[in-house]
Amino acid sequence: MEGLHFKTKPHLERTLNILTVIISIVVLTAVVLMDRPEYKIQTDIDFTFLAPIHATINGIVAIILIAALYFVKQKQYDKHRLAINAAFVGSALFLISYVVYHFTTDATLFCKEGNIRYLYFFLLITHIVLAAFIFPFILITYTRAFVGKFAVHKRLARWVFPIWFYVAVTGPILYLMLRPCY
């Protein structure tokens, strides 16, 4: 693969695997704890301004993921790598901001009545479950390419990509549905 010249190094791969497990446990634990009242952080800063930023970041990540898919299909691996790095950084910034937001801000409840509630809660539940499920696999897929295991990376990416994309797209949709309730 042109432009990608990493050699597999067992110690690097092992270190990245350990980091993937640690980061996944820390992030998933934070996500579980962030809405519990006993873990709320009291602050004078109003972080509600972050909600539209989260939706924007997710929307940008979705667009970048489409570009990354296009580049890999065109065998433009350097551009693919740059796009995936950008999506990875965007998702990381989103996640940090999202955790800060939810540790400091009470959840906004969906305020609409009727059938739209079913759609909202379907999207919300699938978004949350798939985001929690896919997070470690995004890291694993990313690290496989980083250490040069492109066959494994490709096998993983075939199913990781659509789930990551779904999560990135449903984030802004959920924000727009919830926006009148703020």
Angle at CA of residue 96, ends 45 and 128, nearest 5°:
110
Residue type, 68: A
Q: Has residue 10 been placed in a domain?
A: no
Q: Has residue 105 been placed in a domain?
A: yes
Collect all residues with Cβ–Cβ distance below 8 Å to 147 and sequence separation of at least 6: 6, 8, 9, 12, 13, 16
| Tens digit of pLDDT at every position of the chain (182 positions) | 444 445 557 788 899 999 999 999 999 999 999 989 999 999 999 999 999 999 999 999 999 999 999 999 999 999 999 999 999 999 999 999 999 999 999 989 999 999 999 999 999 999 999 999 999 999 999 999 999 999 999 999 999 999 999 999 999 999 999 999 98
Whole-angstrom distance, CA of residue 54 vs CA of residue 98: 7
For the chain, how many structural domains are there in total? 1
pLDDT in tens, 29-72: 999 999 899 999 999 999 999 999 999 999 999 999 999 999 99
Whole-angstrom distance, CA of residue 93 vs CA of residue 82: 16
Q: Has residue 73 been placed in a domain?
A: yes
- What is the domain range of residue 141? 15-28+50-181
Q: Has residue 38 been placed in a domain?
A: no
Residue type, 92: A
